[in-house]
Amino acid sequence: MKVWLGGPYPLGATYDGAGTNFSLFSETAERVELCLFDEEGIETRVDLPEVDAFCWHGYLPAVAPGQRYGYRVHGPSDWSKGQRANPAKLLLDPYAKAVSGEVTWNPAVFGYRFAHPETSNRVNSAPFVPRSVVVNPYFDWGHDHPPKTAWHDTVVYELHVKGFTTQHPDVEPELRGTYAGLASQPVIDYLCHLGVSAVELMPVHQFIHDAGLIQRGLRNYWGYNSIGYLAPHAAYSSGGQDGQQVQEFKAMVKRFHQAGIEVILDVVYNHTAEGNHLGPTLCYRGIDNPAYYRLTEDDRRYYKDFTGTGNTLNMRNPHVLQLIMDSLRYWVIEMHVDGFRFDLASALARELHDVDRLSTFFDLIQQDPVVSQVKLIAEPWDVGEGGYQVGNFPPLWSEWNGKYRDCVRDFWRGEDRALAEFAFRFTGSSDLYELSGRRPYASINFMTAHDGFTLADLVSYQEKHNQANGEGNRDGTDDNRSWNCGVEGPTDDPSIASLRRRQQRNLLTTLVLSQGVPMLLGGDELGHSQGGNNNAYCQD
């Protein structure tokens, strides 16, 4: 097989019409093998012949779109220093634009032996892990252009790609739960009828279903467990997983734009699906663990966790920042999305320990000629100390206003001393945003979101009922600020049912009349219930 030197940039697999350039960053690597897989799964290994500025690269003139591949990285393996190179583990490309297959939870996908956790596991993981895929970058966008809806005219509608159409009677059965189904005419017509100007899609980056959930017969439904930041989640494709998901996602965006609807992505750049030191080796951990992750200072085999997931991406490393910025630009330039909602955004601003509103991440966003021009929404908190940062993000940013949600819920359930704060929240939360020169549209007002009760459950349940998650009802918040109107859960009492409907109307009317940008949780307008589950992340 012919292998030319190629170039270090762009990172990832780039098809140019005649062949494919491969480039992978790893500062710790001593050797990198590119692994190509044919249709029968037979593996062919090729050493990347050149390295420049820690980017290992090569050009293969025979490789075309649809080619499945991965990497094996050779290098030091001293866990106490954070070094976890293990060439027995097939690794995804961090810049893969498509991923095929899912993880099979075999012990081989872990870098240590279960019986002896201090010893390295050298069993080949290739039969049990997904593959990266070379994609065709060409797509006929026609006359597509972003709607560029002004913030003061924006109505955001949060939805789940699969969940929104999986039981939709007017969507063709073979398209339900897919990008194509979401872009079907019945869905477009419904959203236009509602007056929605932007859909905020729950995570569509390639994600992994956790081993613990699979063992309990559950799945990571929400998708906040990313493993590929440039790849649309393959399971949402109706056409296949060998690059078809990219074309289908682009076609979906094009259809939304034709209807005047913007597409905002919920992105999870604060952590990855590899978990803590006991998690699997699927990508970043095996490529350059100390570059990609925040490690503890005293023993670098362990991970700092500001996200509650086991790890935190290392925003102090320039190559991690480059990955995130390259990902954001890719989704805007190549996939034509119109904005981003950043999950646990406070974690992205932690340079040392404290959340820093002048962090490098914000500087990069501010100066970037592409990313700075789209809608930027922060979830302004994380689980670390000092992580609650509502009102503290810099100009350009809007924020999920958690104080609005809490205050308005308190007001309508009759809590004492709620009126004074309600006046601030109803009129744009000037106490939070005015001093930094931001306008009312910095406040994304919401009553409910994917995380917590639905609107119907907010007026039907006093307590969470998360038993179906298999965690003994310990997961999910206990601070619901809800009122069940006198009876917990479903009731046949017509007076209570009438009161609940009136309370829902009160909350929705407050939302649409408040200064700021309203966000509606998909299904709330129809009275969707989760049976009191306020953390339905694993209920597929």
492 is catalytic: no
Catalytic residue, chosen from 242, 288, 343, 399, is 343
Helix (H) or strand (E) holding 12: strand 12-15
200 belongs to the catalytic site: no
Q: DSSP readout, 433-452?
A: HGGGT--GGGEEEES--SSS
Burial pattern 26-60, b for ≥16 Cβ within 10 A else e, equals bebbeebbbbbbeeeeebeebebebbeeebbbbbb
Specify whether the CB–CB gap between 339 and 328 falls below 8 A: no
Q: Between β-strands 198-201 and 31-37, what pairing exists: parallel, antiparallel or unpaired? A: unpaired
Cα separation, 142 vs 386, in Å, equals 47
Q: In angstroms, rounded to a whole number, what is the distance separating the alpha carbons of residues 420 and 347?
A: 31
Q: Is the dihedral of CA 436, 439, 440, 444 positive or negative?
A: negative
Residues 6+ apart with CB under 8 A from 430: 424, 440
Q: Indicate the residue type of 292.
A: Y
The answer to whether the CB of 412 falls within 8 A of the CB of 404 is: no
Answer yes or no: are the C-beta atoms of 160 and 450 closer than 8 Å: yes
Greatest Cα pair distance, the chain, in angstroms, is 77
Sequence-separated (6 or more) residues with CB below 8 Å from residue 144? 253, 254, 257, 258, 336
User: 């893969």: which residue's tokens?
Assistant: 96
**10 Å Cβ neighbour count for 367?**
9
* Residue 12: burial class (beta carbons within 10 Å; 0-12, 13-18, 19+): buried
Q: Which residue has the tokens 């590119």?
A: 34
Show Cβ contacts of residue 13 under 8 Å, excluding neighbours closer than 6 positions.
20, 21, 22, 63, 67, 69, 93, 95, 96, 97, 132, 134, 135
CA 525 to chain centre: 25
Kindly name the residue from 248, 379, 382, 421 that is annotated as catalytic: 379
Other beta carbons less than 10 A from residue 494's beta carbon: 8
Residues with catalytic function: 343, 379
